[in-house]
Structure 1
Amino acid sequence: MMRDQAMFQPGIDQTSAEAPSRVTQPRFWDALPARWSSDADDTLVCCQVRNETHDVKSFFFRAPSGRAFVFEPGQFITLELEIDGECINRCYTISSPPTRPHTISITVKRVPGGTVSNWLHDHLHAGMQVRVLGPAGEFTCARHPAHKFLFLSAGSGITPLMSMSRTHHELGEDSDIVFVHSARTPDDIIFARELDLIASNQAHFRTAFVCERVGARTNWPGVTGFLTLPLLKLIAPDFLEREIFTCGPAPYMQAVRKLLDEGGFDRRHYHEESFSFETVSEVAAQLAEAPVADAPRDAPTLAETAARFKVSFTRSHREIECGGGQHVLDAAKQAGLRLPASCTQGMCGTCKVKLVSGEVAMKHAGGIRQREIDQGMVLLCCSKPLTDLVVDK
């Protein structure tokens, strides 16, 4: 018996007591490595590509240094890609949970005509290196603990809510979660089998799928149509008592807000991802490439051109100069300072930071909430300095 026990001792080569270990790579499960930071180690290696549906893939990454990923479920990362000689930034929510610290994954739907999503689907494979910034974002259940949750998603908006669900599952927390996902057809439901597995393992985790049409699966036993207030009351009769997290296309989220308002839901317990990162980025890029739709930045006045201001970044200990008619993000890039950014149109919120001191003129397009502005947050891509600035970044 003692010999049998010794045979299963980890880290011991049983072929010979004196033989050297044949392990040639670090065993990541022996001890948690240091925390990964994009400031010090901004290149990740794609280690796996997984097909989720006919037009959705998950891409898994690891840090070459073996460092661990630390983030909150629901946050996102920014990929810096060079496509056809152009450097393009795109944000994607993390679909993996922080309970799997050695890898991080994003799940991407192929967008017709989309520059980045199509490049990822067609070219990114295991072994390739990608530059990454982040993680970042405030859409996370970690900051809003509750006894009961309601997750509402549509399409690829499932990814942040999947990260949250996986986290609760792997932590062994049998949280009271109702997960309602809307898709075009049953074959378009992302993570369908895994959600069924989580539901089978957790007594208080329930799923409901709403498909616009049955598609090729004529024997679909689920609901067809769209999410409505009467349907939500059937799925989650106690939805008024739940903390709600919503992510999906803009029309879907608008419809959700409307039906929740009709149902008398307290919006203080409502949280949404303000857009689908991949979709809004692709749309912004397409608009920028179209001469008819291109919206050029306002030309600076003579007074703005003459004015020069200092911008100090507290965390990176960098100081740059920015013209009065120049957006802070543009000045930072010219100075070689790498900052998370995506749409550069004031829509996505990727470049949102806390302004410690100073004043800016900000002309955004919905990428920041008024309460965030009241708290001193700004979007660097659409902010011009009015004074010297100190930025918490």
Structure 2
Amino acid sequence: MAAANNMPSAAVRYWKDDEMLECVSVIPEAPNVSTFCFAAPSGALFDYLPGQFVTLELPVPGGPLHRTYTISSSPSRALSITVTVKAQPDSIGTRWMLDNLRPGMRIKAIGPAGHFTSHHHPAEKYLFISAGSGITPMMSMVTYMYDLGRTPDIVFINCAKRPSDIVFRERLEHIASRIDGVELRWVVEEGDRYQPWTGYQGMFNQLMLGLMAPDYLEREVFCCGPEPFMQAVRDALAGLGFDMDHYHQESFQPSLAKEEQDATEGDVVLEEDAAAEVTFASSGITQTCKETDTILATARSAGLNIPSGCTFGVCGTCKIKKTSGQVHMVHNGGITDEDIEEGYVLACCSHPIGKVEVEA
């Protein structure tokens, strides 16, 4: 005990994204799905909100590729951070991770960031609805609530193609077996051969919602999954009279309705034939373009590589400092009002009006 009292007390250090992440383990979860666990080589801890995301810089053939992934671990377990990824048929970055990323390798990361978190919407009752890899932010939020040691009130619905595709099933069932207040509801489109399925089967609908969470009108709803799935959930809730002010979703795909709604934000109309010019101060390059071109597209035309992820104003990866000129920016939450006041813009959704200079 005396020796322990003589131990020096080190100041707590938190990871910053100027330090690379080291992959320390890879855990297979389901077909074409794996969890990658990262630690800071310096031993720094991770500070973020459950449900937030990071953008990874992946060294794929042909140049670095930036991909945004929700953090599946909980900030209550700060020694490491995990992302759980699923490769689609046309995946490039995720496919590279599954085939090449191994313990000991280091990659760059940007973040954490994002507003999809229960921290911003405290409630007595929650309803988490997800499909496929959209389960990852829900896993982070449930784990955090579990680690608090209190009794939550969560109805957790996850939809998958078949039982073997349900990610985190065993871990979530363990959590539900240890504390009251976490009700799990699995929905599959079809069963697995040789494994009988006795739960819900088919496409998620209003009838299932009423059976799974009869008090859904009293719950704060978080939804994540493919856009058609989230649209079906929105339609089901709206059709049942749910107050959509209590509905929140995470998506790394653009919403057409949102884009159409914001197209004339600020009464700015971009002219197709209007000439513009962007100076990239750090590179010493000036590139002509049109007002309808984004700064990101203009940079690429000039042969410059500005890191980017989602390309429609959600992830914040392409944030750069504007030093002069005017831009028209319509983002989807990837930049704060404070950043905008300090002169930052998102290159992917900022259109130059006349002459503009940025630090890039």
Bucket of the pairwise TM-score, normalised by the shorter protein: 0.7 to 0.9
Contact 1:320 1:331 survives alignment (8 Å):
no
What aligned pairs does 1:280-291 form with structure 2 within 5 A after superposition? none
The verdict on how the C-alpha distance between 1:382 and 1:33 changes in structure 2, with shifts beyond 3 A counting, is same
Question: Counterparts of 1:252-271 in structure 2 under 5 Å?
Answer: 252-271=229-248
- Alignment equivalent of 2:53, drawn from 76, 98, 101: 76
Residue identity in the other structure for 1:327:
T
Q: Distance in 1 between matches of 2:200 and 2:168?
A: 18
**1:215: how far off?**
1.9
**Which one has the largest radius of gyration?**
1
The one-letter code of the counterpart of 1:248 is: G
One-letter amino acid of the structure 1 residue matched with residue 211 of structure 2: L
Give me the whole-angstrom Cα distance separating, in 2, the residues matched to 1:324 and 1:119: 34
Shift of 1:173: 2.8
Task: Tell me: CA distance 1:354–1:123, structure 2 relative to 1, closer, same or farther (3 Å).
Answer: closer
Corresponding residue to 1:223 among 200, 217, 220: 200
Aligned residue identity for 2:327: V
Partner of 1:46: 23
- Measure, in 2, the Cα distance between the counterparts of 1:213 and 1:160: 25
Q: List runs of 5+ in structure 2 lacking aligned partners.
A: 256-269
**Structure 1 counterpart of 2:156, from 163, 179, 182:** 179
Larger CA deviation: 188-197 vs 105-114: 105-114
Do residues 87 (structure 1) and 54 (structure 2) align?
Answer: no
Instruction: Report Cα offsets for 1:38-90 as digits up to 9, x if no partner.
Output: 1x32x111000001112210000011111111111111111111211321110
Equivalent position of 2:332 in the other structure: 368
Letter in 1 for 2:252: F
Q: Structure 1 residue 328 and structure 2 residue 295: aligned? A: yes
Q: How does 1:5-44 map to 2 (within 5 A)?
A: 33-38=12-17, 40-41=18-19, 43-44=20-21
Q: Is the Cα contact below 8 Å between 1:91 and 1:350 reproduced in 2?
A: no
In the alignment, is the contact (CA less than 8 A) between 1:309 and 1:322 conserved in 2?
Answer: yes
Counterpart amino acid of residue 12 in structure 2? P
- The residue aligned with 2:258 is none
Matched residue, 1:192: 169
Indicate which of 178, 182, 185 corresponds to 1:201: 178
**Residues in 2 aligned to 1:311 and 1:238: alpha-carbon distance in whole angstroms:** 56
Of the three residues 332, 348, 356, the one matched with 1:381 is 348
Residues of 2 paired with 1:59 and 1:131: CA distance? Answer: 14
Structure 1's 272 and 352: CA in aligned 2 closer, same or farther, altered over 3 A? Answer: farther
Q: What SS is found at the alignment partner of 1:157? A: helix
Percent sequence identity over matched residues? 39
Contact 1:187 1:217 in 2 (8 A): no
- Paired letter, 2:295: V
User: What's the CA shift string for 1:12-59, capped at 9, x where partnerless?
Assistant: 9xxxxxxxx9xxxxx9xx867311111x32x11100000111221000
Q: Which TM-score applies when normalising by structure 1?
A: 0.74
Which residues in structure 2 correspond to 1:208-357 (within 5 Å)?
208-275=185-252, 304-305=275-276, 307=277, 325=290, 327-329=294-296, 339=307, 341-344=308-311, 346=312, 349-351=315-317
Letter in 2 for 1:50: I
Conserved? CA contact 2:55–2:317, under 8 Å:
no
**2 CA distance for matches of 1:353 and 1:328?**
11
Q: 2:111 maps to which residue? A: 134
Letter in 2 for 1:382: C
Equivalent position of 2:265 in the other structure: none
User: How does 1:96-111 map onto structure 2 within 5 Å?
Assistant: 96-111=73-88
Give the letter aligned to residue 342 of structure 1.
G
Q: 2:326 touches 2:356 (CA, 8 Å); kept in 1?
A: yes
Alpha-carbon separation, structure 2, partners of 1:31 and 1:192: 38
355 and 272 in structure 1: CA distance in 2 versus 1, 3 angstrom threshold: farther
Match 1:149 to one of 117, 121, 126? 126
* RMSD of equivalent CA atoms: 3.9
Mapped contact 2:58–2:65 kept (Cα < 8 A): yes
Equivalent residue for 2:142?
165
Offset, 1:331: 6.5
How far residue 268 of structure 1 moved from its aligned partner, in angstroms, is: 0.5
Q: How many aligned residue pairs are there?
A: 336
Question: Which residue of the partner structure matches residue 3 of structure 1?
Answer: none
Instruction: Give the letter for the 1:121 counterpart.
Output: L
CA distance 1:246–1:200, change in 2 (3 Å): same
